[in-house]
Amino acid sequence: MARIIVVTSGKGGVGKTTSSAAIGTGLAQRGHSTVIIDFDVGLRNLDLIMGCERRVVYDFVNVINGEATLNQALIKDKRTEGLFILPASQTRDKDALTEEGVSKVLEELKERFDYIVCDSPAGIEKGAQMALYFADEAIVVTNPEVSSVRDSDRILGILQSKSLRAREGQEPVKEHLLVTRYNPARVSAGEMLSVADVEEILAIPLLGVIPESQDVLKASNQGEPVILNADAQAGQAYSDAVDRLLGEDRAHRFLDEQKQGFLKRLLGGGRG
Ligand X SMILES: Nc1ncnc2c1ncn2[C@@H]1O[C@H](COP(=O)(O)OP(=O)(O)O)[C@@H](O)[C@H]1O
Q: Contact positions toward another protein, by CB under 8 A?
A: 145-146, 149-150, 153-154, 157, 161, 185-187, 189-194, 197, 200-201, 257, 265-268, 270
**Least distance to ligand X, CB of residue 25, Å:** 14
What's the number of CA atoms in the CB half-sphere (13 Å) around residue 176? 21
Of 2 and 137, which has the nearer Cβ to ligand X? 137
**Least distance to ligand X, CB of residue 252, Å:** 15
**Least distance to Mg ion, CB of residue 221, Å:** 16
**Identity of the amino acid at 169:** G
174 labeled binding residue: no
Instruction: Give CA–CA dist 207/71, Å, rounded.
Output: 32
Of 200 and 248, which has the nearer Cβ to another protein? 200
Largest Cα span, the chain: 63
Q: Which one, of 69, 63, 44, lies nearest residue 101 by Cα?
A: 63
All residues at 6 or more sequence positions from 90 whose CB lies less than 8 Å from its CB, including other chains: 42, 44, 59
Q: Name the residues that contact ligand X, by CB under 6 A.
A: 9, 12-18, 122, 180-181, 210, 212-213, 216-217, 220, 234
**Least distance to Mg ion, CB of residue 83, Å:** 18
**Least distance to another protein, CB of residue 132, Å:** 16
Given the DSSP bridges, would you call strands 206-211 and 34-38 parallel, antiparallel or unpaired? unpaired
124 binds, among another protein, ligand X, Mg ion, none (CB under 5 to 8 A by kind): none
70 binds, among another protein, ligand X, Mg ion, none (CB under 5 to 8 A by kind): none
Instruction: Give CA–CA dist 49/58, Å, rounded.
Output: 18
Of 134 and 182, which has the nearer Cβ to ligand X? 182
All residues at 6 or more sequence positions from 125 whose CB lies less than 8 Å from its CB, including other chains: none
Alpha helices in 163-252 (DSSP H): 164-167, 184-188, 195-202, 214-222, 233-245
15 labeled binding residue: yes
268 binds, among Mg ion, another protein, ligand X, none (CB under 5 to 8 A by kind): another protein
Of 20 and 148, which has the nearer Cβ to another protein? 148
Binding-site residues sit at: 11-18
